[in-house]
Structure 1
Amino acid sequence: MTFVYLLTLFFKCSINAYKKKIWIPLLTFIFCVLVCVLCFVFNTSSYKMPELMSFSFILIFESCIRIGLISSNENYDYYFKKSYTSSLITDKNLNIIHSSASFSIEKDLLCKALKNKVFLNKNKILFSKPISGGFVFYVKDIKDINELKEKLLDIKKTLNDEKELLLYENEIKEKEADVKQKNHLYDSINEAIKNELFQAKKCINDIKENKLD
């Protein structure tokens, strides 16, 4: 079972430098197996089998930790320097203890960040949080948020333009409807008094003819 576990660690590890050291836990495993077998064969009273098994597991796991197959809480400075995140850890006096290689900042900005967030530029904000023995400072990149806001503003502007266009179209439609209604009213009036106009015109013509006679 322990051998299978070692193989699993080996294949899941993505760092070739650590894989090359797999012989260390393998030798440890073989050594522990030999010791357990010898103690079992010669029936030594100094160590009991459960104790030997426990001790063997501890040795094997420790060897895996030492070569890096199992992650451990060591080499903070190395991981910080290799990290792509802009962050650092300071003591209570703001003396830098660990820092990422891509991050350098003035001490007065750190002092300001203790009270409130600090805008380093349009897209980056400096934050701080207290931790045991000091503070951690990190930069948050809001470039994507700003780009999204700009897109939303463009969409809003487009919608406002479309809204104005719709209002203008509605106004034109209302005017057209008003003109149509007036024309319809004029046609109705003309149709209603058509006969009267014809009779009036006829009377006027008759009067003119009588005067000529």
Structure 2
Amino acid sequence: MGKTAAISSPPVLCVLLVLTNDLHQFVFSFPSGGICIGESGTYTYAVGYYFIIAWVVVCALTAFAITLYKCRLAQRKKYLPVLVLPCSIVYAVIYASGAEWMQIIGGDITAAQCLMFVGMLECCIQVGLIPTNTGYAALFEAGTFGAQITDNDYQIRYTSANSPEISKGIMQKAETAAVSLDKNTLLKSHPIDGGHVFWQEDITEITALLERLEENNETIAESNYLEQENYRVKLKIKTLREKNRLYDLLQDKTAEQVDLLERLFSQYNAGSDYEKRRSLLAKIAVIGAYIKRCGNLIFIGEQSKTTDTAELSLCMEESFANLELMDIDCAMDIPGGSRILVEDAIRVYDFFEKVIETAIDDLQSVLMKARSAADSVIFRLEVESSCPLADFTESCENCLFEDGVWCFTLRIGKAGEQL
């Protein structure tokens, strides 16, 4: 920042000396404070004028020295600008001294100095101190960018040192899209006046990045595959655990019926009387229907807490179908459309099954009816049997025995309310 201020301060001061009214007389001094530009002898040069001239000379010499120092060409005619620059300085000094002959010969100092400045620049160009638009062919050939310039017939006119030989067919393909020369190099092109330019683009980093991405994709794919396999195994294990849990739940619920089935099968295998064996098979069918339908209700309860009375009607219907194999009269009237708790449906079905199992050896007829009340469903089970069934009184709302028929009443609350 300090160096910039030091360089820019002198030219700013020079501009202020020349362009401001208050400081202008430090450059041009006028007699008695008057100003009469254009008349000879009406002004003289003050100290500011010589300061400006000195700054211009210093800038010119510095620019020439820097140009000479930076130039990489060694030519013998570097003295040409040296001749022009002193001539400009001498002219300015003589002109400022007031010599009339120089003012007549040189004319206006501004025009003369501009001409000399242009001449010095031209001399610098001629001797190579200032580069010009020449030597492009050699510069292009020395380049390491792998490029070629061809005419419209794809004949090579200029080529860089490291450019490979490219067939005409590949050049024509590169006109429409980039062509891959190898794994890490692309050939691109662009039309120019009178031909085409082709250049190589190194895509090593892009290729390496793509390879890393591909490796990452493979790693992620393997990881995803392992995750999916782990998920499948976990799902399978959870499914088996759930099946085992439901199986254990059903086994605990129907343990008494399973034991009864084993005893009935033992009696069936040991017996020889046809009618007795037929009766045993009918009992086995009734108990098997209960185990099946009770399992269905348990599975329904795992998905929803409530069910329709129509589901309970299906359970009763299958049990009745097996009871009829024993020549037992069965009837049922359970309308659907009422929602009850699944556990209440299981409770009604369990009550029915226990009553049937107790009275099955002396069972004549069975009637199951249901009636929907405002906030409950009332079930009425009528069993014609001489077996004592008074022990079931505590499990129902009402129990009545009349003319050989046992009547049991159960009340189940709707929408989960048990009354």
TM-score calculated relative to the size of structure 2: 0.38
Cα 1:93–1:175, aligned 2, differ >3 Å: closer, same or farther? closer
Give the Cα–Cα distance (whole angstroms) in 2 for the partners of residues 39 and 97 of structure 1: 55
Give the Cα–Cα distance (whole angstroms) in 1 for the partners of residues 129 and 173 of structure 2: 38
1:167 aligned partner: 228
CA contact (8 A) 1:113 1:128 kept: no
Give the Cα–Cα distance (whole angstroms) in 1 for the partners of residues 244 and 147 of structure 2: 76
Give the RMSD, CA atoms, in angstroms: 3.8
Unaligned stretches of 5+ in structure 1?
A: 204-213
Cα 1:171–1:109, aligned 2, differ >3 Å: closer, same or farther? same
Match of residue 38, structure 1, among 89, 94, 101: 94
In the alignment, residue 111 of structure 2 is paired with which amino acid?
A: E
2:72 aligned partner: 17
Give the Cα–Cα distance (whole angstroms) in 2 for the partners of residues 107 and 179 of structure 1: 68
Match of residue 107, structure 2, among 47, 53, 77: 47
**Count of aligned pairs:** 195
Residues 96-147 of structure 1 show CA distances to partners (whole Å, capped at 9, x for unaligned) of: 3332122242563575357545443333333332222332222222333222
In the alignment, residue 191 of structure 2 is paired with which amino acid?
A: P
In our comparison, the structure showing a higher alpha carbon Rg is: 2
CA contact (8 A) 1:113 1:126 kept: no
Could you tell me how far 1:149 is from its partner in structure 2?
Answer: 2.0
1:139 aligned partner: 200
Could you tell me how far 1:93 is from its partner in structure 2?
Answer: 4.4
Could you tell me how far 1:172 is from its partner in structure 2?
Answer: 1.3
Could you tell me how far 1:91 is from its partner in structure 2?
Answer: 3.4
Using CA pairs under 8 Å that are at least 6 residues apart, name the structure with larger relative contact order, 1 or 2. 1
1:62-211 equivalences in 2 (<5 Å): 62-65=122-125, 70-106=130-166, 108-109=168-169, 112-113=172-173, 115-116=175-176, 117-192=178-253, 196=256
Judge which range, 43-52 or 173-182, deviates more. Answer: 43-52
CA contact (8 A) 2:185 2:201 kept: yes
Cα 1:191–1:68, aligned 2, differ >3 Å: closer, same or farther? farther
Higher strand share: 2
Could you tell me how far 1:78 is from its partner in structure 2?
Answer: 1.9
Give the Cα–Cα distance (whole angstroms) in 1 for the partners of residues 252 and 243 of structure 2: 14
CA contact (8 A) 1:88 1:96 kept: yes
CA contact (8 A) 1:87 1:103 kept: yes
Higher helix share: 1
